[in-house]
Structure 1
């Protein structure tokens, strides 16, 4: 019996910096902009994408936020980026400083090894 190999999930660490236009919005306006301008574009263009958001402006002047996107595969990730680029998120509300994209434990899959990770109890 053959075991079907699936493509590993893609994780993207999107390092962004807020723009003066975003900061000029009130908090309710920011929430509305995100929920009416950004989320619908993502939902209409792709599936299999999850996100988490981290504030870093307390510790960095270059990067104010890190958005972690997990996509089921590379195609879902590409659709996500295409969707974001068509919204005010991209280069209007946020400057995308850097994209760091990878797959978790890629070395282990490449070499047929068990992943090495730390576990705190």
Structure 2
């Protein structure tokens, strides 16, 4: 077993609420805004991040969407947040309600034990 420690990937759950400006756009305008106003900024400033988006407005009035960003390390995550803040998605199209940031199975790395999962086939 290697004793070399590597920094764990960071997962950020960014809880957001849509603004009236975002909702006034057509679906195609929203896609265009994301691909022209957000993606180029992120690609220009950050490497080692991926994203997924979840709609939650069916179940919550406070949080309408959850953005899940995975970054290879804390520095990539910090660059991502700096990049997002330079786009209209941050507090113009969406109100950022909360940031929940963690490392998957951090306890297992800390204590040198196997991660416990509940995945079943």
TM-score by length of 1: 0.97
1:94 is the counterpart of 2:90: no
Report the counterpart of residue 55 of structure 1 in structure 2.
Answer: 55
SS of 1:110's equivalent in the other structure is helix
Distance 1:119 1:91 in 2: 37
Distance 2:59 2:3 in 1: 46
TM-score by length of 2: 0.97
Shift of the alpha carbon at 1:4?
3.0
Q: Which runs of 5+ in 1 are unaligned?
A: none
SS of 1:62's equivalent in the other structure is coil
Q: Which runs of 5+ in 2 are unaligned?
A: none
CA RMSD across the alignment? 1.2
Shift of the alpha carbon at 1:3?
4.6
Report the counterpart of residue 32 of structure 1 in structure 2.
Answer: 32
